[in-house]
Amino acid sequence: MKKLKRREFLKKGSTATLLGGSALLLGCQSTEETNQAPAVHTRKTYQWKMVTTWPPHFPVMGEGADLMAEWIDEMSEGRLKIQVYGGGELVPPLEVFDAVSGGVAEMGHGVGYYWAGKVPAAQFFAAVPFGMNAQQMNAWLYSGGGVQLWEDVYAPFNLVPIPAGNTGVQMGGWFNREINTTEDLKGLKMRIPGLGAKVIAKAGGSPILTAGGEIYTNLDRGVIDATEWVGPYHDYLMEFHKIAKYYYYPGWHETGPVLELTINKAQWERLPKDLQAIVRTAAARANVWMLSEFEAKNHTYLQKIMAEDDVEVRKFPDEILTALKGYAQEVIEEVTAKDPQSKKVYESFDKFRRNVTRWAEISEKVYYSLMEV
């Protein structure tokens, strides 16, 4: 296998393989005869722009955005064409929300916790520390009322949100020093976004938010002492193993982070219903494809990282995880106390989490204990 260098990873990405099989179909119509006249589709075409928080063609996340554009073009027979722009090509990575809200671009792809300063409730649709995994997040969003709440939160910003990707449970991050006790977190400069950042601050650290393309340089130059990113596949290609010694797990801060497709609401409402359905279908397909890519590749690249002589893969001590979980609850209580919208969203999230965890206790948790490596 040809080794993909970090620069190629950031600038060029890798060639994605289209997801085989049939796409998830939404709103299928009955084949039985009805009295309704067949739908009439005009040949009007739409040229849209999608801006992303990822470097151009970034493996998995950026590729997923590219694939959504291809699938929409294919399913619409060219009626809806989307030009994808990586972070910085049209707008800075962390300005995607404002760009789509203001109509600079019709669509955006990113993660809700990047806009937490503007919309506190947005981060609950992305990642909650010690929260739900990917399949549980999907269950809450698609079947537990989460999407409806999400649409209500984004509506005042002229945006329509749609789930469009998930990384699965992440790693805890790369550290240039050992983390043995809570004292080791004090003064720690760590790149980490969202609610997880507030938890690190509670622990005495200094959270820093930067776009993905800036992390390596900041860690290498000592601007930060530690960073979380995604998981073994991405982290290996980012070459963090060359500049940090300790690789900790689990990713308590992002247990099933959701990537979002945001659409300018005014433009969305101008689309014919069939094109809206096509966009939703492409986003659902991307949601499955991205999670599958990470699951398929992470185990392979974990072995590569473990084979590196200068890297130690470690589990966070139980003392650390217990302390972080306590800080996480404090953070959530503070955020929800200040923002009624966040309170409403979190109450829905937490109720679903508690119920689905009871099921997981007697299903997957028991089964995992029986699995053999």
The pLDDT of residue 371 is: 85
Query: Is residue 58 assigned to a domain?
Result: yes
Same domain for 148 and 62? yes
Q: Which domain holds residue 109?
A: 46-166+255-303+343-373
List, for residues 224-275, the tens digit of each pLDDT value. Answer: 999 999 999 999 999 999 999 999 999 999 999 999 999 999 999 999 999 9
Q: Is the pLDDT of residue 24 over 90?
A: no
pLDDT at 29 over 80: no
Rounded to the nearest 5 degrees, what angle is found at the Cα of 314, between the Cα atoms of 313 and 318? 165
Model pTM?
0.87
Same structural domain, 329 and 358: no
Task: Write down the pLDDT at residue 32.
Answer: 39
Which pLDDT score, from 0 to 100, does residue 341 have? 98
How does pLDDT run across 148-203, given as a tens digit for each residue?
Answer: 999 999 999 999 999 999 999 999 999 999 999 999 999 999 999 999 999 999 99
Together in a domain, 259 and 313: no
Q: How far is CA 138 from CA 135, 252, 331, in A?
A: 5, 18, 24
Q: What is the pLDDT of residue 373?
A: 66
User: What CATH number corresponds to the domain at position 223?
Assistant: 3.40.190.10
Beta bridge partners of residue 190, listed in sequence order: 207, 226
Span 92-115, pLDDT tens digits: 999 999 999 999 999 999 999 999
pLDDT digits (tens, 9 = 90+) for 72-82: 999 999 999 99
Residue that the structure tokens 């955005």 belong to: 65
Are residues 200 and 73 both part of a single domain? no
- CB neighbour burial string for 241-269, b if at least 16 within 10 angstroms, e if fewer: bebbebbbbebbbbbbbbbbbbbbbebbe
**Same domain (yes/no): 227, 196:** yes
pLDDT tens figures, 340-360: 999 999 999 999 999 999 999
CA dihedral 192, 16, 66, 194 (to 10 degrees): -10
Q: Is residue 190 part of a domain?
A: yes
- CA distances 319 to 22, 130, 181, 293, 332, Å, are 47, 15, 7, 33, 20
Residue 283 CA to residue 150 CA, distance in Å, equals 15
CA gap 197, 285 in Å, rounded: 30
* Same domain as 202, residue 322: yes
d(CA 57, CA 13): 5
Tally of residues, the chain: 373
The CA distance from 343 to 142, in Å, is 20
Query: Does 60 share its domain with 135?
Result: yes
If one counts the domains in the chain, the total is 2
CA neighbours closer than 13 Å in the CB half-sphere of residue 367 = 5
Q: What angle do CA 249, 251, 252 make, to 5 degrees?
A: 115
Q: What is the pLDDT of residue 210?
A: 85
pLDDT of residue 25: 36
